[in-house]
Amino acid sequence: MPSPTRILILHTGGTIGMAAAADGYRPLAGFPERLRQRLESSADHPASDYDIVELPPIDSADLRPAHWPAIAKALLAHWDSHAGFVVLHGTDTMAWSASALSFMLRGCAKPVVLTGAQIPLDAAGSDALDNVRGALHFAASPALCEVSIYFGGRLLRGNRSRKLAATRLEAFASPNYPALGEAGNGFVLHDEHLLAAGERRFCVPVYDDQAVAVLTLHPGFPAALVDALVANPRLRGIVLQTYGVGNAPQGDRELMTALERAAARGIVLLNVTQCLYGGISQETYATGSALARLGVVAGGDLTLEAAFAKLHLLLASTDDAAAVRRGMGETWCGEMS
């Protein structure tokens, strides 16, 4: 059995493990061994001992909620034999998976650090080795008892993170919560921003990919889109991305009536802001109060990714819509203020 001081690197796919092909980047065969060679031949070889396990790699744009349990189960299969975990993941949906893992692994007393790369490991100018080395360092930190993302020199809370840059190496940010750590003259961990180890409440449900949808409001939003979504019998929750502090066009009676029909059908409606900074305060304006009267849950300063993942987990765990609404209003693992 591996030593409990070792780190597990779990490769799930993404740009970090790809190579150029005729039709664009594709997964590189033998990536785990190639990564090991590159790490061990680098001037600043990681101090941590580690093992590498690979799941069938996918482009993260192909990720679905049904993939999340496979990642969680792979971590749990090695949970007692390793001190920390690095998950290599594609950047496009990394924040979504980090949020999902944070809710499935509530109360984890070990570090789980997601990372990846904007440029493949073997390509010129790659950021892969720097990101993996930093992730390995923080994954060996016993004080880190949560799911995080290390990328571009910063350690961020996973369920507070968003990908904000398509190509920049500093691709991720945490708009409403300070960084947990960073690289500079060495690695620094900000203890005052960390979660304390809580009660272990691991939950890995079976997800229905079609249970949750996202609607981003825009001027002239057609009510027919709400009705089209609600016509799907598998739909059980909608994340509404509204304006500002949670405002919607209350003067559009067709839209408000369509949302009312969705609520009457038992669909859980969750309100999050389109803004990067701040959160929902539905009672501030009459336009937000109109949603509150429909039973729309105010999502505070949840990111879209965290809102989507948490709503999915709750709907996969219970058929009680009232319990889902209550759960969305609770802070589980630092996901909202």
Domain ranges in the chain are 7-202, 212-328
Which one, of 79, 115, 145, 66, lies nearest residue 312 by Cα? 66
Topology (CATH level 3) of domain 7-202: Rossmann fold (3.40.50)
With 0-12 / 13-18 / 19 or more C-beta atoms within 10 angstroms meaning exposed / middle / buried, residue 55 is middle
Angle at Cα 130 formed by Cα 127 and Cα 135, nearest 5°?
Answer: 120
Active site residue 273: no
Confidence band for 22, pLDDT divided at 50, 70 and 90:
confident
- Please report, in angstroms and rounded to a whole number, the separation of the first and last CA atoms in the chain: 40
- Predicted local confidence at residue 184, as pLDDT: 85
Distance CA 310, CA 305 (A): 9
Mutual orientation of helices 304-317 and 321-328 as an angle, nearest 10°? 150
Q: Is the pLDDT of residue 20 over 90?
A: no
Q: Is the pLDDT of residue 47 over 90?
A: no
Q: Summarize the confidence of residues 226-230 as an average pLDDT.
A: 96
98: enclosing H helix or E strand: helix 94-104
Sign, CA torsion 270/271/274/276? negative
Q: What is the percent of the chain where pLDDT is above 90?
A: 86
Determine contact, residues 223/252, Cβ cutoff 8 Å: yes
- What's the pTM value of the predicted model, to 2 decimals? 0.95
- Predicted local confidence at residue 278, as pLDDT: 96
Confidence band for 229, pLDDT divided at 50, 70 and 90:
very high
pLDDT tens-digit series, residues 74-92: 999 999 999 999 999 999 9
Q: Is the pLDDT of residue 9 over 70?
A: yes
pLDDT tens-digit series, residues 148-173: 999 999 999 999 999 999 999 999 99
Q: Is the pLDDT of residue 93 over 80?
A: yes
Q: Is the pLDDT of residue 2 over 70?
A: no
Coil, helix or strand at residue 17: helix
Annotated catalytic residue, options 12, 15, 115, 242: 15
pLDDT tens-digit series, residues 201-214: 999 999 999 999 99
Which residues touch 117 (CB under 8 Å, ≥6 apart)?
14, 15, 16, 91, 126, 127, 128, 131
Which residues touch 67 (CB under 8 Å, ≥6 apart)?
58, 97
Q: Is the pLDDT of residue 287 over 80?
A: no
Confidence band for 44, pLDDT divided at 50, 70 and 90:
confident
Determine contact, residues 223/257, Cβ cutoff 8 Å: yes
If you classify domain 212-328 with CATH, what class do you get? alpha beta
Coil, helix or strand at residue 220: coil
Distance CA 142, CA 108 (A): 11
Q: What is the DSSP letter of 324?
A: H
